[in-house]
Amino acid sequence: MSNSIISDLKEALGNEKVLTDAAVKERFYHIWKMEEDLEALAVILPVSTEDVSTCMKICHAHNQPVVVHGGLTNLVGSTETNPNEVVISMEKMDKVVEVDDSSRTLTVEAGCILENAQMAAAEKDLLLPLNFGAKGSAQIGGAIATNAGGLRVVKYGMTRNLVLGLEVVLADGTVLSSLKKIIKDNSAYDLKQLFVGSEGSLGIVTKAVMKLVETPKSRNAALVAVNDYHKVVKLLKHIDAGLGGKMSGFELMWNKFYDTMTDEKSVLRPPIASGFPYYVLVESHGGDHLADQETMERLLAEAFDNQWIEDGTIAQNSTDIEWFFKIRENVDEVVTRCTVDQHFDISLPIPLIGEVINQTIGRLKELDGVEHVFPFGHVADGNIHLIVGKSNDSDQLKNEINAIVYAPLQAIGGSVSAEHGIGLHKKAYLNLCRSENEIALMKTIKQSLDPKNILNRGKVLDI
Amino acid sequence: MSNSIISDLKEALGNEKVLTDAAVKERFYHIWKMEEDLEALAVILPVSTEDVSTCMKICHAHNQPVVVHGGLTNLVGSTETNPNEVVISMEKMDKVVEVDDSSRTLTVEAGCILENAQMAAAEKDLLLPLNFGAKGSAQIGGAIATNAGGLRVVKYGMTRNLVLGLEVVLADGTVLSSLKKIIKDNSAYDLKQLFVGSEGSLGIVTKAVMKLVETPKSRNAALVAVNDYHKVVKLLKHIDAGLGGKMSGFELMWNKFYDTMTDEKSVLRPPIASGFPYYVLVESHGGDHLADQETMERLLAEAFDNQWIEDGTIAQNSTDIEWFFKIRENVDEVVTRCTVDQHFDISLPIPLIGEVINQTIGRLKELDGVEHVFPFGHVADGNIHLIVGKSNDSDQLKNEINAIVYAPLQAIGGSVSAEHGIGLHKKAYLNLCRSENEIALMKTIKQSLDPKNILNRGKVLDI
Beta carbons of B164 and B251 less than 8 angstroms apart: no
* B227 in Cβ contact with B314 (< 8 Å): no
The alpha helices in B20-170, defined as continuous H runs, are 22-25, 49-61, 114-123, 140-145, 153-156, 159-162
pLDDT score of B3: 73
Name every chain B residue with its beta carbon within 8 A of the beta carbon of A215: 241
Strands B86-89 and B66-69: parallel
Query: Closest by alpha carbon to B111, among B49, B59, B33?
Result: B49
Q: Do A434 and B215 touch (CB under 8 A)?
A: no
pLDDT of residue A150: 84
Asked if residue A107 has pLDDT above 60, the reply is: yes
Helices (H), ranges, A179-283: 192-195, 229-243, 255-261
Indicate the pairing of strand B247-254 with strand A218-226: unpaired
- DSSP3 helix / strand / coil % (chain A, rounded to 5): 40, 25, 40
B230, B238 Cβ separation under 8 angstroms: no
Nearest CA in chain B to A346: B185
Report the run of H or E that residue A291 belongs to, with start and end. Answer: helix A289-305
**Secondary structure letter of residue B35 according to DSSP:** T
DSSP state of A314: E
Which one of A188, A241, A246 has the shortest CB-CB distance to B430? A188
Model pLDDT, residue A1? 53
What is the nearest CA distance from B252 to chain A, expressed in angstroms? 16
Phi, psi of B348 (to 5 degrees): -145, 155
Question: What residues contact residue B30 under an 8 Å CB cut-off, 6+ apart?
Answer: B36, B72, B73, B74, B79, B80
pLDDT means over runs of 10, chain B (463 residues): 86 98 97 95 98 98 98 96 98 98 97 98 97 95 96 94 98 98 97 98 98 96 98 98 94 98 96 97 94 95 98 97 96 95 97 98 98 97 97 97 98 97 97 97 98 98 94
d(CA A281, CA A221): 7
User: Which chain A residues have a beta carbon less than 8 Å from that of B382?
Assistant: 103, 181-184
Interval A132-175: pLDDT, tens: 989 999 999 999 999 999 889 999 999 999 999 999 999 999 99
What 3-state DSSP class applies to A358?
Answer: helix
The fraction of chain A above a pLDDT of 70, given in percent, is 100
Cβ atoms of residues A211 and A104 within 8 Å: yes
Among A240, A291, A437, beta carbon nearest to B175: A437
How close B315 gets to chain A, by Cα (Å)? 19
Which residues 221-280 of B have a C-beta within 8 angstroms of A? 233, 237, 240-246, 248
Chain B (170-209) residues lying within 8 Å, Cβ to Cβ, of chain A: 170, 174-191, 193-194, 196-199, 202
Task: Tell me if B70 sits within 8 A of A316, measured CB to CB.
Answer: no
Chain A nearest CA to B237, separation (Å): 7
Residue from the list A184, A350, A448 with its beta carbon closest to the beta carbon of B383: A184
The number of residues making up chain B comes to 463
B112/B98 Cα distance (integer angstroms): 12
CA distance A300 to A277: 18
Would you call A184 and B158 a contact, using CB atoms and an 8 Å cutoff?
A: yes
Q: Compare CB distances from A181 to B287, B349, B421 and report the shortest one's residue.
A: B349
Residues 6 or more apart whose Cβ sits within 8 Å of residue B42: B5, B6, B9, B18, B19, B20, B24, B86, B87
- Tell me if A249 sits within 8 A of A152, measured CB to CB: yes
Q: E strands, B121-241, where?
A: 126-127, 163-169, 175-178, 204-211, 213-214, 218-226
Q: Over 70: is that where the pLDDT of A47 sits?
A: yes
Distance (Å) of CA B107 to CA A187, A222, A320: 28, 33, 41
* Partner residue opposite B245 with nearest CB, options A105, A285, A414: A285
Report CB contact under 8 Å: B422, A104: no
Residue type, B240: D
Chain A residues lying within 8 Å of B350, measured CB to CB? 102-104, 181, 183
Q: What is the pLDDT of residues A378-402, one digit of tens each?
A: 999 999 999 999 999 999 999 999 9
> B196: distance to nearest CA of chain A, Å?
8
Radius of gyration of chain B (CA): 23
Chain A residues touching residue B102 (CB < 8 angstroms): 233, 237, 350-351
Helix and strand numbers, DSSP H then E, in chain B: 17, 18
Tell me which chain B residues have a C-beta less than 8 angstroms from the C-beta of A420.
186
CB < 8 Å to A146, chain B? 186
- Please report the number of interchain residue pairs, chain A to chain B, with beta-carbon separation below 8 angstroms: 311
User: In this complex, which of B176, B186, B420 lies closest to A186 when CB atoms are compared?
Assistant: B420
Secondary structure class of B176 (helix, strand, coil): strand
CB contact under 8 A, A188 and B441: no
Mean pLDDT score of chain A: 97
- B182/A295 touch (CB, cutoff 8 Å), yes or no: no
Residue B188: list chain A partners with CB under 8 A: 199, 421-422, 430, 434, 439, 442, 460-461
Residue A383: its pLDDT value, please?
Answer: 97
Query: Cα–Cα distance between B2 and B232 in angstroms, integer?
Result: 58
List the 99-118 stretch of B: residues with Cβ below 8 A of A: 100-105
Asked if A196 and B190 come within 8 Å (Cβ–Cβ), the reply is: yes
Q: Give contacts of A385 with chain B, Cβ < 8 Å.
A: none
Q: B364 Cβ partners below 8 Å, 6+ apart?
A: B370, B373, B388, B401, B404, B405
| Residue of chain A nearest B167, judged by CA positions | A438
Interface test with B, best of A147, A184, A250, A385 (most B CBs within 10 A): A184
What's the rounded Cα separation, in Å, for the pair A143 and A158?
Answer: 10
Interface probe, candidates A132, A186, A251, A456, chain B, greatest B C-beta count within 10 A: A186
User: At CA A120, angle to CA A117 and CA A121, rounded to 5?
Assistant: 90
| Shortest Cα distance, chain A CAs vs residue B380, angstroms | 9
- Set of chain B residues whose Cβ sits within 8 Å of the Cβ of A174: 437, 441
Supply the pLDDT for residue B461. 97
Task: Let me know the angle formed at the C-alpha of B141 by A414 and B247, rounded to the nearest 5 degrees.
Answer: 80
Are the C-beta atoms of residues A294 and A410 closer than 8 Å to each other? no
The whole-angstrom separation of Cα B435 and Cα B335 is 34
What's the pLDDT at B308? Answer: 98
Amino acid in the structure at residue A433: C
Instruction: Look at the alpha carbons of A285, A291, A293, A295 in this order and tell me if their dihedral is positive or negative.
Output: negative
Q: Give the one of B104, B182, B214 whose C-beta lies nearest to A413's C-beta.
A: B182
Chain B CA closest to residue A195: B189
Is the CB of A245 less than 8 angstroms away from the CB of B419? no
B187:A158 CB<8 A: no
Express each pLDDT in B267-281 by its tens digit: 999 999 999 999 999
B405/A332 Cα distance (integer angstroms): 56
Residues 369-408 of A with CB under 8 A from B: 378, 381-383
CB contact under 8 A, A190 and B160: yes
Name, in order, each residue with C-beta under 8 angstroms of B270's C-beta and a sequence gap of 6 or more: B258, B259, B262, B327
Beta-strand pair A96-100/A66-69: unpaired
To the nearest whole Å, the CA of B456 is away from the closest chain A CA by 13
Of all residues in chain B, the one with the smallest CA distance to A247 is: B245
Kind plus residue range of the DSSP H or E element containing A356: helix A353-365
For residues A45, A47, A52, A53, the Cα torsion angle rounded to the nearest 10 degrees is: -150
Cβ contact A406:B187 at 8 Å: no
| For residues A343-360, average pLDDT | 98
Is A434 at the interface with chain B, CB within 8 A?
Answer: yes
State the pLDDT confidence band at A442, using cuts at 50, 70 and 90. very high
Q: What is the pLDDT of residue B2?
A: 62
The confidence score (pLDDT) of residue A423 equals: 98
Q: How many helices (H) and strands (E) does chain A have?
A: 17, 18
User: Which of A183, A212, A419 to substitute to test the interface with B, most B CBs within 10 Å?
Assistant: A183
Residue B237: list chain A partners with CB under 8 A. Answer: 101-102, 104, 214
CA distance A359 to chain B (A): 19
